[in-house]
Amino acid sequence: MVNQERVLIVGALGQVGRELIYQLSNKHGVENVIVSDLKHSDNIDNKQITLNVMDYDAFKGIVIEEKITQVYNLAALLSATAEKNLELGWKLTIDGLFNSLNLAKEGHIKKIFWPSSIAVFGPNTPKENTPQHTIVEPNTVYGIGKDAGELWCNYYHQKYGVDVRSIRYPGLIGYKSLPGGGTTDYAVAIFHNAIEKGTYECFLEADTKLPMMYMEDAIRATLELMEAPAENIKVRTSYNIAGFSFSPAEIAASIKKQIPNFSITYAPDFRQQIAKTWPASIDDSAAQKDWNWKPNYTVNDLVTIMLTEIKKKVKV
């Protein structure tokens, strides 16, 4: 049992965290995966600890007490929410990341996962097949935090040998939890609305194409990146990964094939201004080359899974 990993998931009760709790518990054992968040959940078997990631002493106390070896630091305000709360959006991203990086620098933990996002890109970034290394210049609070954070990850790796790994998630779509505050989240809400109401009012314009991914692929990518040998991880800012891309009109048409009466209307709001600065598609060849990344799910798989699983939930 000498090499038993002890994992702390921070911000564990969000969209990504809830899925990671399950997968990481399967891998390391429920007793070795500690869940922390500001909230508490009644339907989780793991030990839960309330933690504000910006509180270094509390964070360090948990890491030492629980003999944590790996931290998945997921605490963040997503793009739309952060625009309405600049300082908290920035502080949560950067202070939380610094605290994780410093715990590793001081030798308390061995490995960190920190998510970045397609939000690191901005209006001057090439839109199609956005390369791994390119102009970023994000113009959202969330994107500025992720861009700066990526550079700090790289800095701590170069300077102090901290083993921090990161992925630029595209819009993530899953049926297990409702997202909160993202610009890509229309692509989750649309399925719930299609089933429950037969109609959806979209906050983006019809032809706004964005990179998306089925949640299970994103979680597998995360675990594969974390398991890859350290010497294979050549990108210490954050890796591009791609699933598929679609616009609201395209995903609505796919849903209509299975729910013929479904209709969509458009009422673009401030989130359209965010979406139009992000890429339409992503080049993930560096992730493919360095740690064999490959998505399993197509957009057709996504539509079928989302409609089937949400229908089951609605009936219950």
- Of the pair 78, 280, the CB lying nearest ligand SER is at 78
Q: Which stretch binds ligand SER (CB under 6 A): 21-29, 152-160, 179-187, 283-291?
A: 179-187
Q: Which helix (H) or strand (E) holds 206?
A: none
Given 22, 56, 72, 142, which residue is catalytic?
A: 142
- Of the pair 33, 150, the CB lying nearest ligand SER is at 150
Question: Measured between alpha carbons, how far is 152 from 149 in angstroms, rounded to an integer?
Answer: 5
**Residues 184, 193, 238, 240: which binds ligand SER (CB under 6 A)?**
184
Q: How far is the CB of 144 from ligand SER (least distance, A)?
A: 13
Q: Under the criterion CB under 6 A, does residue 117 sit at the interface with ligand SER?
A: yes
Q: How far is the CB of 241 from ligand SER (least distance, A)?
A: 12
**Residues 14, 182, 248, 279: which binds ligand SER (CB under 6 A)?**
182
Q: Under the criterion CB under 6 A, does residue 119 sit at the interface with ligand SER?
A: yes
Q: How far is the CB of 208 from ligand SER (least distance, A)?
A: 12
Site size toward ligand SER (CB under 6 A) is 11
Residue nearest to ligand SER (CB): 182
DSSP codes, the chain: -TT---EEEETTTSHHHHHHHHHHHHHH-GGGEEEEESS--TT--S-EEE--TT-HHHHHHHHHHTT--EEEE-----HHHHHT-HHHHHHHHHHHHHHHHHHHHTTS-SEEE--EEGGG--TTS-STTB-SSS-----SHHHHHHHHHHHHHHHHHHHH--EEE-EEE-EEE-SSS---S-STTHHHHHHHHHHHTSEEEESS-TT--EEEEEHHHHHHHHHHHHHS-GGG---SS-EE---EEE-HHHHHHHHHHHSTT-EEEE---HHHHHHTTS-SSB--HHHHHHH-------HHHHHHHHHHHHHHHHH-
Restricted to residues 232-261, the positions that interact with ligand SER (CB under 6 A) are none
Give the CA-trace dihedral at 87, 92, 94, 100, to 10 degrees. Answer: 160
Q: How far is the CB of 110 from ligand SER (least distance, A)?
A: 26
Q: Which stretch binds ligand SER (CB under 6 A): 24-32, 113-121, 191-199, 294-302?
A: 113-121
Q: Under the criterion CB under 6 A, does residue 169 sit at the interface with ligand SER?
A: yes
- Of the pair 113, 142, the CB lying nearest ligand SER is at 142
Residue 92 contacts residue 75 (beta carbons within 8 Å): yes
Active site residue 155: no
- Of the pair 10, 44, the CB lying nearest ligand SER is at 10
Phi, psi (deg, nearest 5) at residue 106: -80, 0
Q: Under the criterion CB under 6 A, does residue 79 sit at the interface with ligand SER?
A: yes
Q: How far is the CB of 130 from ligand SER (least distance, A)?
A: 14
Q: How far is the CB of 183 from ligand SER (least distance, A)?
A: 4
**Residues 171, 174, 211, 279: which binds ligand SER (CB under 6 A)?**
171
- Of the pair 17, 63, the CB lying nearest ligand SER is at 17
Residues forming contacts to ligand SER in the complex (CB under 6 A) are 78-79, 117-119, 142, 169, 171, 182-184
Active site residues: 142
